[in-house]
Amino acid sequence: MHLLIVDDSELMRKVTRLAFRGGADIEEATNGLEALARIATARHPFDAIVLDLQMPDMNGVEFLRALHQRPAHRDTPVVIATSEAESSPLLHEARRLGVAAVLKKPWKPHELSLAVEAATRTAPPRKDTR
């Protein structure tokens, strides 16, 4: 599995990486802008993205909007990992944009890996565009 972790917290990226214990090819980005650059230069499409919502430069919702503008990547499953309250406008908008799952921090590693696995199983088949 080729996975992109997008979170401005180095600790959360490390914990997220540990949830997959070497069972995935993982790349990281610290915000949405960096994530878009990683997607554009990746040798293979990402199977899933684990995304925080509160980040500098480009937050998670702005990233989702930009991702949806890229036909080759708009169906990439996105799992939100956030501490946002259920009433948060950011979380509401992320759900409206069609994320695969939302996990509230602090989550357990097995919860995240199960959410990503479920999201990739239900995603439409993807073609390698490179």
Q: Which pLDDT tens digits describe the chain residue by residue (130 residues)?
A: 999 999 999 999 999 999 998 788 999 999 999 999 999 999 999 999 999 999 999 999 999 999 999 998 989 999 999 998 888 999 999 999 999 999 998 899 899 999 999 999 987 665 544 4
Give how far the C-alpha of residue 119 lies from the chain's centroid of Cα atoms, to the nearest Å. 11
Q: Is the pTM of this model over 0.95?
A: no
Domains and CATH numbers, the chain: 2-122 (3.40.50.2300)
Q: Please list the alpha-helical segments (H only) found in 59-107.
A: 60-68, 89-96
